[in-house]
């Protein structure tokens, strides 16, 4: 459960709730009409309820029916104002190096591509263009659908994007594409081609593992 700030706050924007919130989950902007509670951070402590001068705060399950849309309004504020994250060149370079290292130890020659969240190529292995094109399509597919390509089936739907955002001509439903996901955000993707399906997947896993290891430090 989470607390939700509803319509009585509009025009009031009293800061008492912000001051008492131990989780620092209540925010607004100068041009926003009210305060908002981040549902991902709220700890249900009730402090905001106790100090609100206009009785604008409710547990989500107790929202009056006419104010039910405010649950989505609170969540949407944080989605819209959240910094957009993406893979960076440093991430991509590390991931490609991990693929190359694994492929070398396994006696493989593979092509690999890392894309950022916008589908832009950040880094590649040096290989023939046709192989890189296949690797890029796998990465694109994983990026757009939000799941590894070996898990996709024809007719499957993307997790977070709209179907009309996807270029069907770029989709390749074969193993060797992995998304890079943080929370509910897809930050980018890696695609590998030229090995067997299992080998391409293991190369992708090496790339993902290298990024996770770097994040852990």
Domain boundary among 21, 54, 81: 81
Contact 161, 142 (CB under 8 A): no
Domain boundary among 21, 48, 81: 81
Q: What is the pLDDT of residue 128?
A: 63
How does the average pLDDT of the chain come out, rounded?
A: 92
- As for how many domains the chain has, the answer is 2
SS (H, E, C) the chain: CCEEECHHHCCCCCCHHHHHCCCCCEECCCCCCCCEECCCCCCCCCHHHHHCCCCCEEEHHHCCHHHCHHHHHHHHHHHHHCCCCCCCHHHHHHHHHHHHHHHHHHCCCCEEEEEECCCCEEEECCCCHHHHHHHHHHHHHHHHHCCCHHHCCCCCCCCCCCHHHCCHHHCCCCCCEEEEEECCEEEEEEEEECCCHHHHHHHHHHHHHHHHHHHHC
First-last CA distance in the chain: 33
Q: Which CATH number fits the domain that encloses residue 103?
A: 3.30.450.150
Same domain? 209 vs 135: yes
Same domain? 97 vs 75: no
Average pLDDT over residues 27-45: 93
Q: What is the pLDDT of residues 107-142, one digit of tens each?
A: 999 999 999 999 999 999 976 667 999 999 999 999
Same domain? 60 vs 95: no
Domain boundary among 81, 112, 141: 81
Same domain? 72 vs 98: no
74 has pLDDT over 90 = yes
Contact 7, 56 (CB under 8 A): yes
Can you give the residue range of the structural domain that contains 48? 3-81
Q: What is the pLDDT of residues 4-28, one digit of tens each?
A: 999 999 999 999 999 999 999 999 9
Q: Which CATH number fits the domain that encloses residue 14?
A: 3.30.70.20
Q: What is the pLDDT of residues 163-182, one digit of tens each?
A: 888 999 999 999 999 999 88
Same domain? 71 vs 96: no
Same domain? 10 vs 105: no
Burial class (CB in 10 A: 0-12, 13-18, 19+), 7: middle
Q: What is the pLDDT of residue 121?
A: 96
Q: What is the pLDDT of residue 159?
A: 81
Same domain? 36 vs 99: no
Same domain? 103 vs 192: yes
């Amino acid at each position: 459960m989470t607390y939700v700030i509803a319509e009585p706050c509009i025009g009031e924007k009293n800061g008492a709730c912000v001051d008492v919130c131990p989780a620092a989950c209540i925010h607004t902007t100068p041009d926003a009409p009210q305060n908002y509670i981040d549902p991902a951070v709220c700890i249900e402590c009730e402090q905001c309820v106790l100090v609100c001068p206009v009785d604008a705060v409710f547990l989500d399950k107790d929202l009056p029916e006419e104010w039910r849309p405010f649950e989505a309004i609170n969540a949407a504020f944080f989605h819209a104002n959240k910094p957009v994250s993406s893979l960076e060149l440093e991430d991509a370079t590390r991931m490609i190096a991990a693929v190359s290292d694994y492929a070398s130890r396994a006696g493989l020659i593979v092509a690999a591509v890392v894309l950022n969240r916008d589908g832009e190529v950040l880094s590649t292995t040096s290989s023939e263009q046709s192989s890189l094109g296949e690797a890029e399509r796998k990465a694109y597919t994983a990026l757009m659908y939000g799941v590894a390509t070996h898990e996709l089936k024809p007719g499957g739907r993307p997790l977070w994007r709209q179907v009309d955002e996807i270029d069907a001509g770029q989709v390749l439903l074969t193993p060797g594409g992995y998304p890079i996901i943080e929370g509910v955000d897809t930050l980018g993707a890696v695609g590998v081609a030229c090995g067997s399906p299992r080998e391409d997947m293991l190369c992708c896993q090496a790339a993902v593992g290298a990024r996770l290891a770097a994040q852990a430090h």
